[in-house]
A and B are shown apart, each in its own frame.
Chain A
Amino acid sequence: MKALCWEGKHHIAVKHVHDPHILNPHDAIIKVTSSAICGSDLHLYNGVIPTMEKGDIMGHETMGIVVETGPLVRDVKVGDRIVIPFDIGCGHCQHCEDQEFSACDNTNPNFMIPEKLYGYSGSGLFGYSHMYGGYAGGQAEYIRVPFVDTNHLLVPESLTDDQVLFLSDIFPTGYMAAENCHIKRGDTVAVWGAGPVGLLAMKSAFLLGAGRVIAIDHIKTRLDKARSFGCETINFEEDDAITDQLRFLTGGRGPDSCIDAVGLEAHGHTVLNAIDTVKQKVKIGTDRPDALRQAIQACKKAGTVSIPGVYGGFLDKFPFGAAFGKGLTLKMGQTHTQRYMKPLLERIEKGEIDPSFVISHRIRIDDGPEAYKQFNENKDDFTKVVLKFH
């Protein structure tokens, strides 16, 4: 089969590789129909997430048709059309029983690596480094799905791939980010990053009762998209005094909650971000947390900072004093996707939201390497790229 493989920093290649097969009794093999490139895939592309190996198959936003099942699979059959969550739950451990699927105890075969780095290991993830299990991803014609009974959402034929594909990651991720804000009716929510996760966090914030949502980014087309469904916007390249702007816009209080949908590769012209960038380039620093610094600084007293953006290592000049001094609540982590898939599917079926509005490009796998390059350099207004198969 054809697959998009990580060959090194800034190098993705289409390769002919072996088809996957059943390795464990709860596995299924899926013929992929659609698979997206996520903003977090660009962290891999840029080489800032450790433990990638040359030849790893990319992709964690995937859906398709079941073509084979292992002998102990009960809830999925050949021919079913399913969306696959990016995090892999076993369905049996205490965390899975508590609906904390991305904290699953049993699906990361390389649990020793995160245990050394983080103390404990989360679940395995598709296509997201060996630290997260080294599972082959879904930017390929076929994918093996472990514990498929836990890791699938059956989707009705009445909905297109584009409408349901993002239930695999970015819609639940944006929704959980908004849910973590504990929004009260009429609240003001500020969101750093108007990429796909940020845009879906903004939409979700409105769905959960926010009165105002303020989008912060530097890409005009993304801010236009946010404005199209009622957000106010701040372009930080036109005005970098974001905290002052937010204070002014919120009557001197600050936003009730702030969402960092940027993660470890923040852009911007602040002195601290310039220092972070140099440190990251010469490998004496890991993360560029400038969006998070701003979110903590801007958030109102006793407010909440929610962090769906990915972080991997150690954060320098982290304003913990401000977080403590204002009594902030910090909520973060990989999404427990399976918890949200069904209720969010129902919102799509009811017509409350159509996540496909984030798609900017639909391509074939052979165009994948160029799409990564363009997406990373933000050429041609790339917002969300979907690979189409079969």
Chain B
Amino acid sequence: MDTSYIPSSQSRQTPGVPQLDREHGYFASATVTNSLEDIVAFCKDQENVEKVLKDIPAKVENFLGLKLETDASEKDGHRIIWKNSGKNPGKLIFLLSPAMNKGTVITAEAVFDKIHFREDGPSTLMNIFLKRMKQLMETGEIATTKGQPSGREEISQHKH
């Protein structure tokens, strides 16, 4: 079995990538149908990170104000870093590697000196963040029902 596509703990420790620290690093992974090049282009667009964070069910203060730092080809794929150098400094690192059949595996790692989560656990939040990123990458939108009608907002008369 070819396991080269699976990011190993060694691959996370590629020179230049912060070493895994269980105290402060949190992980999630997702497989997307997009090509590696598409993802790099997506991640370079600051608007996209703002769309992913907008209305996110749980917030993490560290993620607010993330800016693209760099992208670079690595031996085992691409590495993209979104960095927050403001109040809660730290990094969100994306490692990209080809999926077995098609598309790309994204492994996301959050590395912060002190991580500030308002709700839910960090792993849950990383998963939510990456799933929303996958939605936006693959479809161009993030699924929502916010603003749809319901009987919770009954009106006195109908228009049609």
Contacts and interface: CB of A to CB of B under 8 A. Distances in A.
A2 interface: yes
Interface residues of B, number: 34
Contacts of B148: 20, 23, 135-136, 144
5 contacts: A17-B155, A57-B149, A115-B127, A135-B145, A135-B148
Nearest to B125: A112
B11 interface: no
A5 B137 CA distance: 34
B138 interface: yes
Interface in B94-119: 102-103
Interface string B135-160: 10011111111111111111111111
B33 A17 contact: no
A7 B150 CA distance: 11
Interface stretch (A92-100, A195-203, A372-380): A92-100
B33 A18 contact: no
A3 interface: yes
A134 B139 contact: no
Interface in A144-202: 144, 146-147
A15 B158 CA distance: 9
Contact of A57 (B128, B151, B157, B159): B151
A372 to B, nearest CB: 14
Nearest to B128: A112
Interface in A39-94: 53-57, 72, 90-94
Interface in B46-78: 57
B139 A92 contact: yes
Contact of A5 (B33, B150, B155, B160): B150
B91 interface: no
Given A90-B139, A90-B143, A134-B145, 17 more contacts: A1-B149, A1-B159, A3-B151, A25-B140, A54-B151, A55-B150, A55-B152, A56-B151, A90-B135, A91-B139, A92-B33, A92-B138, A94-B103, A106-B143, A107-B143, A124-B143, A133-B143
Contact of A7 (B131, B151, B157): B151
A17 B152 CA distance: 8
Contacts of B144: 23-24, 109
Nearest to B120: A112
A134 B144 CA distance: 9
B31 interface: yes
Contacts of B153: 17-18, 55
A364 interface: no
A14 to B, nearest CB: 9
B79 interface: no
Contacts of B102: 94
Interface centre among A2, A93, A107, A140, by most chain B C-beta atoms within 10 angstroms, is: A93
A21 interface: yes
Given A97-B33, A112-B128, A16 B154 contact: yes
A26 B141 contact: yes
Contacts of A256: none
A56 B150 contact: yes
Contacts of A54: 151-152
Nearest to A134: B145
Contacts of A147: 139
Interface string A293-322: 000000000000000000000000000000
B19 interface: no
Contacts of B157: 16
B134 interface: yes
